[in-house]
Amino acid sequence: MTRSDSRPGSDAADGTAHGDWTAPGDPGDPDDLASGGDDAYAVPSDAPVVECPRCGRPFARERHRDLHVGVDHADLDADERAAYEAASEDERAELRRFRIVSLGLLVALYFGFLFLYAVVG
């Protein structure tokens, strides 16, 4: 099966189009990821697609494609390297923010229950 055969336009006719991008098999399967994944992806026909210039794998966002190119492909040119580093820095900044917000919520929850116990209990 070629990649174009798995496009959602062909799936939509029989009502099997998925609301989200899915790859055949278990997407969390480490063996599948280690081998570069399967070639077939179900992509909604109206969804904006950013494809990898090397393997054609579809992504929803340019940043995801840039991260994929930097991680899964070798011999990056200067533009690809710069895009990968920018995407990687954005990813690290988001993770840092998520950790800070999560810690703040956990502390607020802890002291909230502590004060509630002190007042009510």
Q: Which positions lie near Zn ion, rule CB under 5 A?
A: 52, 54-55, 57
Residue whose CB is less far from Zn ion, 57 or 63: 57
Question: What is the three-class DSSP state of 1?
Answer: coil
Instruction: Report the greatest alpha carbon distance in the chain.
Output: 66
Residue nearest to Zn ion (CB): 52
| Residue nearer to Zn ion on the CB measure, 17 or 50 | 50
CB of 41 to Zn ion, least distance (A): 12
CB of 5 to Zn ion, least distance (A): 19
Q: Is residue 76 a contact partner of residue 40, using CB atoms and an 8 Å limit? A: no
Mention every residue, 6+ apart, whose C-beta is less than 8 A from residue 6: 39, 40, 41, 42
| CA dist., res. 19 & res. 8, Å (int) | 10
Give 11 or 39: the residue with its C-beta nearer to Zn ion.
39
Q: How far apart are CA 118 and CA 109, in angstroms?
A: 14
Three-state SS at 74:
coil
Q: Would you say 3 or 54 has its CB closer to Zn ion?
A: 54
